[in-house]
Amino acid sequence: MPGIKKFMIPCEFGGQTSQFTIYIGEPKVELHPIHHQSHWLAKERGGNIPEKIINSLERLYELSKKNGICFADLCVYALKIVKKSNTTTDS
């Protein structure tokens, strides 16, 4: 089901890491999927989204365009896979 999905991600604020909410939907083609949120976070809150997350979202967005699937749904799926993988490796 296409739409906007809410995610909590770890962001950096002056050397400290805190959870921050981002929203993912279908971004404009010419911008990074969370361009506006990343810019706002830096300007208004002095925080930044880790490069690893930025790069992962960019790769997922490219995959969603290439395969004609909803970007937000692909992010949900990828997060489930990562959580499942972390659960099995922690056991």
pLDDT one digit per residue (tens) for the chain, 91 residues: 468 999 999 999 999 999 999 999 988 877 888 999 999 999 999 999 999 999 999 999 999 999 999 999 999 999 999 888 877 766 5
Total tally of structural domains belonging to the chain: 1
Cβ atoms within 10 Å, residue 42: 13
Torsion of CA 67, 73, 74, 76, to 10 degrees: -170
Q: Indicate yes or no: pTM above 0.85.
A: no
Of 84, 91, 39, 32, the C-alpha closest to 59 is: 32
Render pLDDT for 4-16 as a digit per residue (tens, 0 to 9): 999 999 999 999 9
| Alpha-carbon gap, residue 41 to 3, rounded angstroms | 22
Which pLDDT value is given to residue 26? Answer: 86
Specify the residue for token string 């490219």. Answer: 62
> Could you tell me the residue range of the domain that residue 15 belongs to?
5-90
- What value does the mean pLDDT of the chain take? 90
